[in-house]
Amino acid sequence: MTVSSFTLMLESAWPARLLSLAIAAALFAYLRRKDTEGQFSLYLAALAFLFVRDTVLALFPLDGLMVVSDILHYCFALFIFIYPYKAARLVLLPALVLNLALAALFAADSALGFLGPLPERVVALALPVNAILIGLVAFLRRKEGAGRQIPGMIWPFAAALLLGYGASVVAFGYAAPAVERLAVPLSYAWLLMAALAALEQHDRQLLSAVAYYEGSIDSLYNLLLGTGSALKGEFTTEELLKSMNEAIAAETGADGGVIFLVDEFDDLIVCKSYVGSYPPPVSLPESLPRKQNRVETFMKHIQFRLGEGVFGDVAKTGRNVFIPDVAKDPRIVINGEEDFLRISSFMAAPLMVGDKIIGLVSVVRKDAARPFEEADFDRLKLLANFGTLSVSSFFSYLEARERSGLEQSADIAADIQRSIIPKKVPQFPGLGLGAFSLPARGVSGDYFDVIRTRPDRVVCIVGDVAGKGVSAALIMVMIRAILHLVTNTNKDIATVLNWVNKGITGKIDLDHYATLAVIAADTRTGEVEYANAAHQPVLVFRRSSGAVETLDLKSLPIGVERATEYGRKALRLAAGDLVVMYTDGIVEAMNEQGKQYGRKGLAQVVERHRDLPAKEIAAKIKGDLAAFVGSVRQHDDQTVVVLKMSQ
Amino acid sequence: MELKIRKSGDNYIIDVNGEMDLYNSYKLKELVMKMLEKKVERFIINLENVDYIDSSGIGALIYICSTIKKMSFKLIITNIHGSVKKVIELTKLMGYFPITNSIEEAIQQMED
Amino acid sequence: MANDTTYLSEIHEIRVDENSPLFDKTGLLYKEFPSDYRQIRYFTLLIVQSAPLEIKEINLLEQQISEVIKNAVKHGNRCKPEKKVRVWYSFDSSHAQLIVQDEGEGFKDLEKWNEFNRKRLEILSKQDYEGLADYVSFRTQKSDDNDGGNALFAALEYWNGGFVYNNKRNAVAMLKKFPQKKHAIG
């Protein structure tokens, strides 16, 4: 290309046209990044086509090129403006074919001249005709949804422009300077409009997204307000769930809402909250009268197994359910047309704490003309998540109380026990004492106490409370309290046991039992009183004869019968005599071979070390037992109290 | 075990608190018999606060149920849960006993 | 610990099988009790308190064990305190195993009971609740007013790992397998 031809180009209409095209192209290119539907490709293709046409024309001013290319240009427009209207596509194909045929014919004729010179301006009639077609179709179809797209936004302008341009070509021809320099660049304006319309569409989308998020934040705020006030004051699970339920139903525009909670023990879900009017989406039992109050009450207390029906499925799998039109869906049963039986639209979402499903929320609408929409479903999911989050600390508390409530109460029980088991046993000039108590698995059912009732009188108690946890620990506290009170009186120890028994039996709903063995000793004279409530027999080791006696009294444990009368035995200890009290965890302790330690094992270790002071004998028993059981885990508490008359 | 009686219209609601076991289930039986002597015809036994029942308790309920049925009076057992529900399921007596999930429903059913 | 799956399909009948692995006492803890009717729940508690805290149906387990002990005390040993009830047991979070033996003459009406239960289940499957009225309790001449007769119905359903008697029918061995915790989503 020479400099002169380039100068010619510059002085022609080319730059002006190029500018229009460039602006439109720039806008489309910018929006193309956001365009996921590829609808802009067509516009860009049209722009590219026109650019090529203009450049070629500037370099090679061919006759007839304008009209042929304009027909093609209008074909683009035809496609863009008619294609979105499905019904009108029937017209599109023939129109395009005719246009293309015309263009081809004229081009062939210009090149080969077999039809004689066709007047350009007559052929150009196709342009205004196309424009009218575009306008007609768009006008007739203007109510269709395609109207929200770009063609729908700019068709009046585009049609008018293309009509005007076409008319001017027919009237004045391409050679006219006004047409060449003004009309042609102006004809690109519709593409420019399309670009601007695309921009506006983009803005509109942004605005609607912002509006949606604002709406979500409002809903969340309302939810928090509702549940927050429930959390502030006195709250029960029912009230908390009620606020959450009401908030969710309001924000999703529902007619009724229910919340189910999972009952872990039974693998059931139970309806715990009901607001508005929520007809049962399951078959009603035949015997249930179809009256509003009966049906409502039925729904308010309804239960399902995990996995049963649509609710059970949500609770088991954690899947959301969205059924905007229940009519065709087999999961939902409509029991009738009455207002209290009819459902038209249904949604459900699980309530989760961490990855644990604790329940579900569900809402319904009854008006078939107003089904739930995707936005409502999104809202439900958001609120279900958020609602559970904001009250999850409460639900976690319930769950923790449920699950590790046992651990917690075991801790409390252990604390209580630690505080009442004596840390040190008193010693007397005439009588030495030794003891140990080893709990199994942190919660001891064993109890022992050494009470100095008078300077020279001591009462030793060893007991075993049946059951575990806080309630057993509390029983221990009660027994200890009664014992401390009663041993200070002058009553004999059998009466003491009677009183302990009366104090415990029947006081509480749940049965609680304990065994007790009581030894009351005069530390100077060695006179001993023994009483027993079903506890292990007490061993007495006589120094002089080397004999081992068993002290026992057949009796009922504490807590079985209120009127039980306990008996007692009396004996006298001589110097060097030993008394050993213990719990069944000692004699029933098993080693790896499955053998029990037994009374024999206990007696043997005591006899071996009978010359040691009571404290050391207790330590020897502890060591021997540990050696016996080896690594076998012990399932019962082990307690020993040793009394030795000084020598 | 504690037994409390209250009234709702013509319905007598017996609230059972505690455990129904081999030592105390006879008490419920005796109470219902006494109430039948006093011409009570509509019984709702509320087991909301019962979380332990054994075969004696079931036996007592069966006795009460069949006696009331024979006299053509009405009985509904309500608010069973946890191990009580499990035991009734294990003995496959869920269909035999007239059961509702709540006292509200029991009162409504009484009117049928 | 026994692990016998053949019993799972035969849960509707009490079987007599002295050679069942459920009677294997190795590794089991042991306690014995006098046959004192008043202390049945106490004895049960002594046994159950060695069960781990994680078992979520502990009430139900306690109740089922108390029934078996009650049977041994009341029907086996006729509530005579000098007669012993011997219990071998073992618990962990996945299972509970028990053997209960009394000094009595054995469950003589065992076959009659199976027959009765069969009829009962038939009536239940037909949902004939009128007819069920005759089958809610199993009574023999030795039953009294306080016998529910229901304990065995529940026991057969509950001890899903097996419920068998020895040849003399004065000892019964049973196994319960606890459902393991499911994952939250699934």
Cα A456 to chain centroid distance, Å, stands at 66
Contacting subunits of C (3+ beta carbon pairs below 8 A):
A, B
Using one digit for the tens of pLDDT, what is the confidence trace for A504-534?
886 655 667 899 999 999 988 999 999 999 9
Q: Under 8 Å CB-to-CB from C130, ≥6 apart: which residues?
A: none
Using one digit for the tens of pLDDT, what is the confidence trace for A437-459?
888 875 568 889 999 888 888 99
Q: Are residues A251 and A268 in contact, defined by beta-carbon separation less than 8 angstroms?
A: no
What the block records as the tokens of C18 is 């002295």
B102 in contact with A, Cβ within 8 Å = yes
With CA atoms as reference, the chain A residue closest to B17 would be: A509
Interval A28-54 mean pLDDT: 79
Considering only residues A525 and A115, tell me which one the structure prediction assigns the higher pLDDT.
A525
Q: Are residues C64 and C155 in contact, defined by beta-carbon separation less than 8 angstroms?
A: yes
Domain ranges of chain C: 6-113+151-177
The confidence score (pLDDT) of residue C3 equals 41
Q: Which residue has tokens 């009442």? A: A420
Å between A303 CA and nearest CA of chain B? 8
C 40-59 residues with CB < 8 A to A = 41-42, 45-46, 49-50, 53-54, 56-57
Put simply, the answer to whether B1 touches A293 (Cβ < 8 Å) is: no
Confidence of residue A563 (pLDDT cuts 50, 70, 90): confident
Distances (CA, A) of A516 to A537, A642, C4, C43: 10, 16, 41, 15
What the block records as the tokens of C108 is 């003589």
The DSSP letter of residue A180 is I
Confidence of residue A116 (pLDDT cuts 50, 70, 90): low
Domain ranges of chain A: 3-203, 236-403, 411-645
Res. A110: pLDDT tops 80: no
Å between C5 CA and nearest CA of chain A? 24
The CATH code that applies to domain A236-403 is 3.30.450.40
Put simply, the answer to whether C129 touches B96 (Cβ < 8 Å) is: yes
The confidence score (pLDDT) of residue A552 equals 93
**pLDDT above 90 coverage of chain C, percent:** 35
Three-state DSSP string of A520-547: EEECCCCEEEEEEEECCCEEEECCCCCC
Of B17, B85, B102, the CB nearest to A301: B102
Å between A355 CA and nearest CA of chain C? 6
Q: Chain-wide mean pLDDT for chain A?
A: 84
The confidence score (pLDDT) of residue B103 equals 93
Res. A310: pLDDT tops 60: yes
Residues of chain B with pLDDT under 70: none
Confidence of residue A362 (pLDDT cuts 50, 70, 90): very high
Alpha-carbon distance of B62 to A631, in angstroms, equals 50
Confidence of residue A115 (pLDDT cuts 50, 70, 90): low
Å between B15 CA and nearest CA of chain C? 21
CATH fold of C6-113+151-177 reads: Heat Shock Protein 90 (3.30.565)
Alpha-carbon distance of C142 to A135, in angstroms, equals 102
Q: Which residues of C touch A352 (CB under 8 A)?
A: 184
Put simply, the answer to whether B86 touches C146 (Cβ < 8 Å) is: no
The confidence score (pLDDT) of residue A401 equals 58
Cα A247 to chain centroid distance, Å, stands at 18
Q: What is the ipTM of this complex?
A: 0.85
Put simply, the answer to whether A266 touches B108 (Cβ < 8 Å) is: no
The confidence score (pLDDT) of residue C143 equals 60
Put simply, the answer to whether B51 touches C59 (Cβ < 8 Å) is: yes
Using one digit for the tens of pLDDT, what is the confidence trace for B6-26?
999 999 999 999 889 888 899
Res. A271: pLDDT tops 90: yes
The confidence score (pLDDT) of residue B35 equals 93
With CA atoms as reference, the chain C residue closest to A445 would be: C49
Supply the angle between the helices A65-82 and A126-140 in degrees, to the nearest 10. Answer: 10
The confidence score (pLDDT) of residue A9 equals 67
The confidence score (pLDDT) of residue C4 equals 40
The CATH code that applies to domain A411-645 is 3.60.40.10
Alpha-carbon distance of B11 to B2, in angstroms, equals 20
- At residue A80's C-alpha, the angle toward residues A79 and A86, to 5°, is 75
Using one digit for the tens of pLDDT, what is the confidence trace for A139-184?
887 777 655 678 878 888 888 888 888 888 888 888 787 777 778 8
Q: What is the CATH number of the domain that holds B18?
A: 3.30.750.24
Put simply, the answer to whether A509 touches B1 (Cβ < 8 Å) is: yes
Res. A121: pLDDT tops 80: no
The confidence score (pLDDT) of residue A109 equals 78
C29 in contact with A, Cβ within 8 Å = yes
Confidence of residue C7 (pLDDT cuts 50, 70, 90): very low
- CATH 2.40.128 assigned to domain A3-203? The reply is no
Alpha-carbon distance of A441 to A445, in angstroms, equals 11
Of B26, B58, B86, the CB nearest to C150: B58
The confidence score (pLDDT) of residue A173 equals 81
* Burial (Cβ within 10 Å: 0-12, 13-18, ≥19) of residue A440: middle
* Element at A346 (helix H, strand E): strand A345-353
Put simply, the answer to whether C67 touches B95 (Cβ < 8 Å) is: no
Using one digit for the tens of pLDDT, what is the confidence trace for A537-562?
999 999 998 888 999 999 999 988 88
Distances (CA, A) of A44 to A56, A102, A300: 18, 25, 61
For an interface test with B, which of A265, A273, A287, A512 has the most B Cβ atoms less than 10 Å from its Cβ?
A265
B3 in contact with A, Cβ within 8 Å = no
Interval A284-304 mean pLDDT: 91
Amino acid at A69: S
Q: Chain-wide mean pLDDT for chain C?
A: 82
C150 in contact with A, Cβ within 8 Å = no
Domain ranges, residue B69:
2-110
Tell me the three state secondary structure of residue A584: helix
Q: Under 8 Å CB-to-CB from B14, ≥6 apart: which residues?
A: B3, B4, B5, B28, B31, B32, B43, B44, B45, B46
